Amino acid sequence: MNERIVDLLKKNHLSITESRKKILSHFLDANGALAHADIEHKSGTEFDRVTIYRTLQTFVEKGMIHTIPTTDNSVRYALCKDECSAGHHHDDHVHFMCDECGTTYCLDHVIVPQVALPEGFKAIRNDLVVSGICNKCS
């Protein structure tokens, strides 16, 4: 378990620090996406708030996690697949937010469909967020 975390950090050319290991482990343990506040609560007073912000930024830049657009305008993060890297993200999957339990899921196997836009509009990224009832709450 700890091995996998250290390997992940090494693979991304990041120095091995307590905060990074712990924050990364929270993502590996979680089944849904995590908000900054979630990590802050899970970590207690272990790290400074600022450290969490900077660690999340770093992880995003390295392609280890990705942000999720949410309808309630909170920022959430989830682990990326192995295919993702610093340059290339593979964020073409649908995200699901449960109205009941609040969990946000990456539906990795549900691909966002393309839509035809009006004349002159050029799509670069498509984000589809589905809200409703998740499989655990139904």
Partner DNA sequence: ACAACAATGCAACACTGTTGCAAAATTTAT
Partner DNA sequence: ATAAATTTTGCAACAGTGTTGCATTGTTGT
Q: How far apart are CA 11 and CA 29, in angstroms?
A: 20
Minimum gap (Å) between residue 25 Cβ and a second copy = 25
Find, among 93, 94, 95, 34, the residue nearest to 59 by Cα: 34
Cα 50 to Cα 11, 17, 36, 53, 94: the distances in Å are 24, 15, 10, 5, 30
Name the segment binding Zn ion (CB under 5 A); options: 40-48, 51-59, 86-94, 98-106. 98-106
Per CB under 8 A, which of residues 90..129 are in contact with a second copy?
A: 94, 96, 99, 107, 109-110, 112-113, 115-129
Burial class (CB in 10 A: 0-12, 13-18, 19+), 114: exposed
Q: Which of 64, 98, 105, 106 binds Zn ion (CB under 5 A)?
A: 98
Q: Is 12 in the site for DNA (CB under 7 A)?
A: no
Binding residues for a second copy, per CB under 8 A?
67, 69-71, 73-75, 94, 96, 99, 107, 109-110, 112-113, 115-136, 138
